[in-house]
Chains A and B, each alone.
Chain A
């Protein structure tokens, strides 16, 4: 870089804005909302990076990407070099650049952010990954074969990251996936308009080039148990990354009426099965004119925005706290607002009301107010007596959270789980109570973020590698 201290003073205070579709147009299509930086924008944004010696941004990245280094290469216009640097640590950069909450991670620690807007690290990362996907992929070097076999259960962000790292170390990795495509929540959960499925599949193909085998249509716990994989399948170690795919319901009357979906069902039909292309694709989805989505997290925002794209006249977020407490990313809430999603805050459903055919025709709600802060410092919502009213809706999507799928824990002898059904694993190593079996991602932590799951996959791979090396000795 030729930057002089003088040049640094001229740093642009704001990030290069992300080009995006017009909100009212995009609210009715499934194309990606943000369209990505051009080369010029990426280089210009990369030049905002001050190349701090202490690299504070890196402490915010769960997969330890060499952030200043890859950004420097982008600033120099060396895109192949930048991609290679990025992929030394991150197996799914096109995904992370799109869905990581950078404001709470790398960009939170950016020095520039103390005075101005931080460097758009996620946007530059996304540019690099997309540039590579468009211009041909180079395969990172793989170590010579160690002769060890590792089974990875689940092909979500945790499993894919773990598989990539182990393959690079020379281990033979087989990923078992229950659904018919790999990717987990990246395929069935996160909508096409935030994360195009072609992008996910392109990254999965890159992993296969490392020698990772992916067996879809393989439900571990059903066709084979973890024990059988180790005893009969010849696997030396197992990583469990089965996620948090068990939908929670409110347990209020009327939840089994026609027109009530779990967010998982609603999003799986739409994203994985492409019900928005029905009847050219075979899976149907049916929504009414007024849709209520229960919950305030990212999944709820995805549900409410999906409902608009499927043709709902009104799409409501129904959440019992206020806007300040919404657990969703700020950017997602903003996008939802821009697209016309409505918010019924400090409101909670108590009953879903049926018509004579057993279909949803309304939702009885009660209003809340915020009370005193609880032990965690959050002001807890308190119901206002007598405030019940019936909300006029004909479709309800329940997005109040998910638990771990019990299939693997239930069928694996000696695998310790907590009361919620999450697998107990050492956060520093991913080791479970069962020798040779490691776990990470949502199945351990409960529903969290893509990048935390990837971080856990990385930790798991490192520990499995050490475990295998100790076996060799």
Chain B
């Protein structure tokens, strides 16, 4: 059992938890993820590590409530216990000194991109951070990202905070201003459509781009292939070969379709849960 030490509510649907998991905290690196199961009848879901504290033995996760498990997790409080919490899983993000690096976080993707930005800056890069969300209320960690990056740009889709526009609009301005040849690497994490849009943009400029793929997973240790994805025409398992991949090599259509395979069941699970709990309480 893994104790929730702290909980922070960023918005009605985005929440942070600090979980006591010393074994994971001891060896995790930026870019890796954990899998958790909240109770005995629960499913295993992957969440990227948003922060860690080796001395305290804690892992920070940030999640968006999108279905039954995340909604149930969101109702848990500090002092509650998560049944299973395993990691670190996946390969760490490759960190090296390259010069300017564009680090883009969309929506809840700001959380996983944060430790990567920090590690890139610590490695001596000039990290240009761009974070964006649909609307002001869904934006979080502006302060932490400002500290983790060399400079930070913020946008909202609806213009309710700082400026109106997608992260790709800001990326385009930055690339034009700095010159594409001065940006050797871009890292983009967020919802699939956002990562795909970032990928399409940087492909035009020929800027190498790494994305962290969020495929469906079961075990997360390479034993089932549920998370498989075509990258450069080859089948890869996101859980062990990734989650980071070259965005320009990813078969986005296939990834999107596989991700939606259980949509009907996901809705059924949420409904079933809502009736059992009497209206989502």
Residue of B nearest to A267 (CB): B224
Q: Does B266 contact A (CB under 8 A)?
A: yes
Asked if A258 and B226 sit within 8 Å, CB to CB, the answer is no
Asked if A218 and B86 sit within 8 Å, CB to CB, the answer is yes
Map CB proximity to B onto A218-233 as digits: 1 under 8 Å, 0 otherwise.
1100111000000000
The residue that A224 contacts in the complex, of B23, B222, B257, with Cβ under 8 A, is B23
Interface positions of B from 129 to 181, Cβ below 8 Å from A: none
Q: Chain B residues with Cβ under 8 A from A359's Cβ?
A: 257, 261
Asked if A280 and B262 sit within 8 Å, CB to CB, the answer is no
The docked-state distance in angstroms from the alpha carbon of A156 to that of B190 is: 37
Asked if B222 and A246 sit within 8 Å, CB to CB, the answer is yes
Q: Chain A residues with Cβ under 8 A from B42's Cβ?
A: 281-282
Known contacts A223-B24, A247-B225, A358-B254; decide if A407 and B37 are in contact (CB<8 Å).
no
The docked-state distance in angstroms from the alpha carbon of A406 to that of B240 is: 10
> What is the minimal beta-carbon distance from A179 to any residue of chain B, in angstroms?
6
Asked if B262 and A286 sit within 8 Å, CB to CB, the answer is yes
Q: Does A283 contact B (CB under 8 A)?
A: yes
Asked if B84 and A358 sit within 8 Å, CB to CB, the answer is no
Q: Chain B residues with Cβ under 8 A from A280's Cβ?
A: 41, 272
The docked-state distance in angstroms from the alpha carbon of A343 to that of B138 is: 54
The docked-state distance in angstroms from the alpha carbon of A358 to that of B259 is: 12
Q: Does B54 contact A (CB under 8 A)?
A: no
How many residues of chain A have a CB within 8 Å of chain B? 41
Asked if A223 and B88 sit within 8 Å, CB to CB, the answer is yes
> What is the minimal beta-carbon distance from A396 to any residue of chain B, in angstroms?
13
Asked if A249 and B235 sit within 8 Å, CB to CB, the answer is yes
Asked if B269 and A273 sit within 8 Å, CB to CB, the answer is no
Q: Chain B residues with Cβ under 8 A from A216's Cβ?
A: 84
The docked-state distance in angstroms from the alpha carbon of A80 to that of B257 is: 57
Asked if B235 and A273 sit within 8 Å, CB to CB, the answer is no
Residue of A nearest to B255 (CB): A256
Interface positions of A from 85 to 117, Cβ below 8 Å from B: none
Map CB proximity to A onto B254-277 as digits: 1 under 8 Å, 0 otherwise.
100110111011101100110000
> What is the minimal beta-carbon distance from A36 to any residue of chain B, in angstroms?
27
Map CB proximity to A onto B37-58 as digits: 1 under 8 Å, 0 otherwise.
1000111100000000000000
Q: Chain A residues with Cβ under 8 A from B43's Cβ?
A: 273, 281-284
The docked-state distance in angstroms from the alpha carbon of A31 to that of B223 is: 26
Q: Chain B residues with Cβ under 8 A from A269's Cβ?
A: 218
Secondary structure type dominating chain B contacts: mixed
> What is the minimal beta-carbon distance from A263 to any residue of chain B, in angstroms?
9
The docked-state distance in angstroms from the alpha carbon of A179 to that of B89 is: 12
Q: Chain B residues with Cβ under 8 A from A261's Cβ?
A: 226
The residue that B254 contacts in the complex, of A256, A406, A407, with Cβ under 8 A, is A256
Asked if B235 and A407 sit within 8 Å, CB to CB, the answer is no
Known contacts A258-B257, A284-B266; decide if A223 and B27 are in contact (CB<8 Å).
yes
The docked-state distance in angstroms from the alpha carbon of A286 to that of B263 is: 10
Known contacts A256-B235, A265-B225, A273-B44; decide if A179 and B23 are in contact (CB<8 Å).
no
> What is the minimal beta-carbon distance from A222 to any residue of chain B, in angstroms?
6
Please count the residue pairs between chain A and chain B whose beta carbons lie under 8 angstroms apart in the complex. Answer: 121
Asked if B269 and A357 sit within 8 Å, CB to CB, the answer is no
Q: Does B69 contact A (CB under 8 A)?
A: yes
> What is the minimal beta-carbon distance from B255 to any residue of chain A, in angstroms?
9
Q: Does A262 contact B (CB under 8 A)?
A: yes
Q: Does A471 contact B (CB under 8 A)?
A: no
Known contacts A223-B27, A262-B224, A264-B225; decide if A179 and B219 are in contact (CB<8 Å).
yes
Asked if A258 and B258 sit within 8 Å, CB to CB, the answer is yes
Asked if A279 and B272 sit within 8 Å, CB to CB, the answer is yes
Q: Does A180 contact B (CB under 8 A)?
A: yes
Map CB proximity to B onto A362-375 as digits: 1 under 8 Å, 0 otherwise.
00000000000000
Q: Chain A residues with Cβ under 8 A from B260's Cβ?
A: 258
The docked-state distance in angstroms from the alpha carbon of A357 to that of B266 is: 18
Residue of A nearest to B42 (CB): A282
Q: Does A238 contact B (CB under 8 A)?
A: no
Q: Does B68 contact A (CB under 8 A)?
A: yes
Interface positions of B from 67 to 87, Cβ below 8 Å from A: 68-69, 83-87
Q: Does A405 contact B (CB under 8 A)?
A: yes
Q: Chain A residues with Cβ under 8 A from B85's Cβ?
A: 217
Asked if A222 and B27 sit within 8 Å, CB to CB, the answer is yes
Asked if A279 and B222 sit within 8 Å, CB to CB, the answer is no
Most-contacted residue by chain A among B89, B218, B240 (CB, 10 A): B218
> What is the minimal beta-carbon distance from B47 to any residue of chain A, in angstroms?
14
Q: Chain B residues with Cβ under 8 A from A339's Cβ?
A: none
Q: Does A236 contact B (CB under 8 A)?
A: no
Asked if B87 and A222 sit within 8 Å, CB to CB, the answer is yes
Known contacts A180-B86, A405-B223; decide if A278 and B265 are in contact (CB<8 Å).
yes
Residue of B nearest to A251 (CB): B235
> What is the minimal beta-carbon distance from A246 to any residue of chain B, in angstroms?
6
> What is the minimal beta-carbon distance from A134 to any residue of chain B, in angstroms?
23
Q: Chain B residues with Cβ under 8 A from A45's Cβ?
A: none
Known contacts A217-B86, A222-B87; decide if A284 and B265 are in contact (CB<8 Å).
yes
Asked if B240 and A282 sit within 8 Å, CB to CB, the answer is no
The docked-state distance in angstroms from the alpha carbon of A219 to that of B226 is: 18
The docked-state distance in angstroms from the alpha carbon of A57 to that of B85 is: 45
Asked if B218 and A268 sit within 8 Å, CB to CB, the answer is yes
Q: Does A255 contact B (CB under 8 A)?
A: yes
Q: Chain A residues with Cβ under 8 A from B89's Cβ?
A: 219, 222
Q: Chain A residues with Cβ under 8 A from B264's Cβ?
A: 286
Q: Does A381 contact B (CB under 8 A)?
A: no
Asked if B240 and A407 sit within 8 Å, CB to CB, the answer is yes
Asked if A405 and B221 sit within 8 Å, CB to CB, the answer is yes
Inter-chain pairs besides A256-B229, A283-B44, 9 sampled, C-beta below 8 Å: A216-B84, A219-B89, A222-B27, A223-B23, A255-B235, A256-B230, A269-B218, A273-B44, A405-B221
Query: What residues make up the interface of A, taking CB atoms closer than 8 Å to B?
Result: 178-180, 216-219, 222-224, 245-247, 249, 255-256, 258-259, 261-262, 264-265, 268-269, 273-274, 277-284, 286, 357-359, 405-407
Task: List 12 A–B pairs whose Cβ atoms lie within 8 Å, in order of A's numbering.
Answer: A218-B23, A249-B225, A255-B235, A262-B226, A265-B225, A265-B226, A281-B42, A282-B42, A282-B43, A284-B43, A358-B257, A405-B221
Give me the 6 closest cross-chain CB pairs, A-B, nearest first: A284-B265, A265-B224, A245-B223, A282-B43, A217-B86, A358-B257
